[in-house]
Chain A
């Protein structure tokens, strides 16, 4: 107990900047000084380079993904056609919502788009929703546990995966590869390149066309991933500022910001799904647009 109190005390002494930096650090697993382990400071985490993993955000991401898919599967297995119960109604509502958006926005035939959009939408929705868990609950619990049981002071623990650009870019770049795959599959490699080179000004303006079209193509995954990251990161940051600077006034302020954020959470998941539909629909369009 004394250790617990001491850990709590040590945390309470943090300055605002330290508090926020701590909350924005990741629990990073990688190679430090020639052996694998958890980074104990942000500097160590940076030194690990590319071959390191954010155990916290990736862990939550995988946990939430498995959680919702297994839950959906369980509901689907136990579903009744005649007498749907509450949970089944909810899941069916989600599936029908996604299916309706797909049939509105996607004019070609591809069985992958439905499951793709369901996965993206609900998974991102869940990851974003982690933002509504009060910023210190799980993080502090983890920090105290790590300090108590592993002598690891100030252990960082981020629970909102979509505030990690690695996570959002991981999604958007995967979507980007699908865009390229389906473009080449449907238009042929020549057709795909033609769209980049002879559009929008015809073949005599080829270099100019490339200057316009290539960045447009690469802007898709970047904007897709960074939009989601930026929105959630900003939301998280504001929660942290409120938590660190407002004293007891943080309670109403948290509530107000959480209400605003309640709009952002599903909206960003929805936007990600809709843009994926639009991009993939373009990838299936045979005629140049």
Chain B
């Protein structure tokens, strides 16, 4: 068990290895581990952010859906109102048109009645005159009868 310069040799190699490890080995791994830690932290943070975003988006979508429902309901309401209005207007127009047609028809009927009365009046007076002529056989004052007959015709 000799104590000798192996001791010095070992000490020197130890210091050399220590220097080598500190300069060329340790930094590589501490950098890798640091970088990986950072990436994991970033990843977790991104995941948390995405979750929050998702929540926000869901919230917004429900809100939009609600809004859409409300506006759809109001549109339908308006449409219904408009439809009722149109129907009402059509009813009024139809009634007016009907009234007008009826009025026209009434006027036409009256005209026809008057025309028929005129014709009848003329025919009645002719019949009466003919009848009277037949009865009296020409002895009657034509002027006086005429006047009486037209009075008669006006009364018809």
Determine if chain A interacts with chain B. yes
**Which residues of A come within 8 Å of B, CB atoms?**
26, 28, 30, 45-46, 48-54, 57-58, 61-62, 65-66, 69, 72-73, 76-77, 79, 81, 91-92, 95-96, 99, 111-112, 114-116, 118-119, 123, 161, 164-167, 169-171, 173-174
Total number of A-B contacts with CB less than 8 angstroms? 125
Say whether chain A's binding surface is mostly helix, strand, loop, or mixed. helix
Contact status of A96 and B10, CB under 8 A, knowing A48-B4, A49-B4, A119-B21: no
CB distance from B12 to the nearest CB of A (A): 8
Q: Which of B2, B5, B13, B32 has the most CB of A within 10 A?
A: B2
Question: Could you tell me which residues of chain B, from 5 to 46, have a CB within 8 Å of some CB in chain A?
Answer: 5-11, 13-15, 17-18, 20-22, 24-26, 28-30, 32-33, 35-36, 39
Say whether chain B's binding surface is mostly helix, strand, loop, or mixed. helix
Query: What's the Cα separation between A161 and B10 when bound, in Å?
Result: 10
**Chain A residues in 8 Å Cβ range of B30:** 95, 99, 114
Contact A95 B2 (CB under 8 A): no
Query: What's the Cα separation between A10 and B63 when bound, in Å?
Result: 97
Interface pairs (10), CB distance under 8 Å: A51-B4, A52-B2, A53-B5, A58-B13, A61-B10, A72-B28, A95-B30, A119-B21, A166-B7, A166-B10
Query: What's the Cα separation between A120 and B108 when bound, in Å?
Result: 130
**Chain A residues in 8 Å Cβ range of B22:** 111-112, 115-116
Question: In the complex, which residue of chain A has the Cβ closest to the Cβ of B6?
Answer: A166
Range of interface residues on B (Cβ < 8 Å): 20 to 34
Contact A76 B25 (CB under 8 A): yes
**Chain B residues in 8 Å Cβ range of A61:** 10, 13
Contact A165 B3 (CB under 8 A): yes
Partner of A79, one of B9, B11, B14, B28: B28
Known: A54-B2, A65-B17. 16 other contacts (CB 8 A): A26-B2, A46-B2, A50-B5, A58-B6, A73-B25, A76-B32, A81-B39, A92-B32, A95-B33, A96-B33, A114-B26, A115-B25, A116-B21, A167-B10, A170-B10, A174-B11
